[in-house]
Amino acid sequence: MARTQPWDPRHLPDLTGRTYLVTGANAGLGYFSCEQLVRAGAHVFMTGRSPNRLMASRAAIRRRVPDADTRVETMLLDTSNLGSVRAAAATIGARGGLDGVLLNAGIVHPPKTREVTGDGHELVFATNVLGHFALAGELLRPLAHAAGRMVWLGSMSTSLWRYDPVDPELVEGYTGWRAYVQSKVATTALGLEADRRLRAAGVAVSSVIAHPGYSTSGRTPGIVGVNSPSRLTRFADNLQLGITQSKEHGAWPLVRALVDPDIEGGEFWGPRSVVRGEPRRATASRITRDPEIAARLWQVCEDATGVRWDFARAARS
């Protein structure tokens, strides 16, 4: 798929015959990323941890996108649960090649006190980071088979709060905000490190990072079963009209990072004015570009998940 026209997020290139997986697909950025991909003709696996919410989001796409029925599938995948991650990856791997995976799922509003998953990991780090590291590693072969792409979800918060995740699971000094920012430092650093390792191993998979700017529910269209903000939320978010955008528009950089053939591994994408606007290439924060921090986080993820990315096998694909 070669792109010859200027990029228009409202009119994507034809994605017929391509297959993508999106985590956290039942609402917000994940839902709108799926809808935009399906509108362009792609086959999409919508994944999430709630079967009822997944069915509601799939039904919404079927209502809003003509002929979407056969091109949308749902699959249970809880990124905070490593068993769930492995099961979903095995199912996808058995289906053949995968053109891309959008590692979107995550906790944006962390609990006030530290919580631990059934696997024994801090909840935010497990959901936002460990599950996606394991999933991307387990999907390396189907991605390589299709010369596909993985997209990690970054955040502009990492440029404002430069937390070095020396204690990534925050055993000491937990705060919800620090847990969130550290998780985004980690996803961006890991996305860049993945690109370095994939290139070094000669694996035909690209790793890209994208962030949605400041995207809010109150600026987002109401969709039954997907987004139903209260009047108060609408009012509060509209007061920030100049610095916010809808989650529909927040999905634009994510989708472009996933499907634009002119994007190369290791790039970082976000809205034109940082907080809002059409997608453009940007520069990741300095702390996320530190190879030593990235290598340390990679080792942490390997030890925590037990997943070692099989670069050699993927290269042979």
- Positions annotated as catalytic residues are 180
The angle, 0 to 180 degrees and rounded to 10, between the axes of the packed helices 28-39 and 51-64 is 40
Task: Give me 174's structure tokens.
Answer: 């937990």
CB 122 within 8 A of CB 304: no
CA 88 to mean position of chain CA atoms: 16
Task: Give me 64's structure tokens.
Answer: 């809003």
Q: How buried is residue 90: exposed, middle or buried, by Cβ count under 10 Å (0-12/13-18/19+)?
A: exposed
Strands 245-246 and 279-282, bridge-based pairing: unpaired
